[in-house]
Amino acid sequence: MIKKILVPLKDKSYSIIIGFKIFNKKNFFSFFNIKKKYILITNNTLLKLWSNKIIQILKKEGIKIDVISISDGEIYKSIKTVDYIIKELLKKNHGRDSVLIAFGGGVIGDITGFVASIYQRGIDFIQIPTTLLSQVDASIGGKTGVNHFLGKNMIGTFWQPKIVIIDLFFLFTLSKRELFSGFSEVIKYSISFDKKFFIWLEKKFLKLINLEKKSLLYCVQKCCKIKAKVVSLDEKEKNLRSFLNFGHTYGHAIESYTNYKKFLHGEAISIGMILASKTSEVLGLLDTQKLKRIISLFKKFHLPISPPENMSPNDYLIYMKRDKKNLLGQLRLILPNRIGEVKIYDNINEKIILSVIKSSFLQI
């Protein structure tokens, strides 16, 4: 069964299509315009696993398609990679009638969307996310960008895809680590917006990590609905959409400090959400029992909850002070008041942050 979710925007509304083995269904090709030229942007790993098969299917239907493959990993989410993709587009004489296809995880989606937004002042792109993290979060909402060595996602644009095609079948080829990493963003939605969803995750975690199809479909659909609603209400992140960054200020600091090599994105954000929740507890916002329940859920999905041992509290502050959410030099954090509700808090005292990080080195 195929599910369809609309992302209603003022100018560029689009659909999210969710199902199993969508590429084997004939109506899949209705999403493509035979008069357009397509470029599949992927990584070397996926090129071997899936891309050649998809390219053959598309070519068989008379769809013109080129391929640009890049190295796999967050460390390659850079201006250097963007320059390489643009050079390849120019060599192949692609113009404004060309359409990019982001085929991969969050890194591929972010880079492809960014290139689409700047190439010849903007061309169309399609998201085909292949990881759980990208299916429930990164592929939806039009945030694009690349990293700078001084901070994550510091260079980017808002550029919405034409469509997001989510085939849950790809999740069955993920490593356990990659799969668990994606559940970090799933848990984020439940803590930030939906207590009932949090309770559902507590009950269904075994079915989810074992990829039981019915539970998996419900989970991904639920996350996409939440993300679509938030983006439709606040496309350019003026207020409500910032709630989606729960845990990301701490998490991005961890990723930047470790040069994107030690942790997957979801793993770093998992630690970030624990640190943000502990900050909330210290400030008297979050009940201790609720904190323990949050920690327990992350453990159920085999996610890390302790900060890297070699990263000092002051190392966090260096990167956190560069966070995009900060205003007038004041630290802003997204913190949970309770399970199912987060808020933005301005001018958090640095001593509080330092004490939370120090205490987190102890056994949680």
Q: Tell me the pLDDT tens digit for each residue of 313-360.
A: 999 998 898 876 766 567 889 999 999 999 999 888 889 999 999 887
Average pLDDT over residues 111-139: 97
User: Range of 250's domain?
Assistant: 176-360
CATH label of the domain that carries residue 353 = 1.20.1090.10
What SS3 string covers 67-130? EEEECCCHHHCCHHHHHHHHHHHHHCCCCCCEEEEEEECHHHHHHHHHHHHHHHHCCEEEEEEC
CB atoms within 10 A of CB 364: 14
Share of residues in the chain with pLDDT > 70 (%): 96
Contact in structure between 49 and 173 (CB atoms under 8 Å)? yes
Q: Whose CA is closest to 6, among 22, 24, 23, 18?
A: 18
Of 15 and 23, more confident: 15
Letter string b/e over residues 116-132, b meaning 16 or more CB atoms within 10 A of that residue's CB: bbebeeebbbbbbbbbb
CATH label of the domain that carries residue 88 = 3.40.50.1970
Looking at this protein, which amino acid is placed at residue 151? Answer: G
- For the chain, the average pLDDT equals 92
Domain shared by 52 and 158, yes or no: yes
Tell me the CA end-to-end span of the chain in Å, nearest whole number: 42
Last residue of a domain, one of 140, 173, 206: 173
Domain shared by 186 and 328, yes or no: yes
Distance CA 164, CA 154 (A): 24
Model pLDDT, residue 328? 54
Model pLDDT, residue 364? 46
Count of structural domains, the chain: 2
Contact in structure between 37 and 58 (CB atoms under 8 Å)? no
Domain shared by 159 and 206, yes or no: no
Residue 363 is given by DSSP the state: -
Active site residues: 121, 143, 185, 227, 237, 241, 245, 248, 252, 265
Element at 181 (helix H, strand E)? helix 176-193
Average pLDDT over residues 299-314: 93
Domain shared by 152 and 207, yes or no: no
- The alpha carbon dihedral of 82, 85, 87, 93 has a sign of negative
Ranked by mean pLDDT, the top range of 34-43, 217-226, 238-247 is 217-226
Is residue 57 pLDDT above 90, yes or no? no
DSSP labels, 294-345:
HHHHHHHTT---S--TT--HHHHHHHHTT-TT-BTTB-EEEEEEETTEEEEE
Contact in structure between 106 and 133 (CB atoms under 8 Å)? yes
Model pLDDT, residue 50? 80
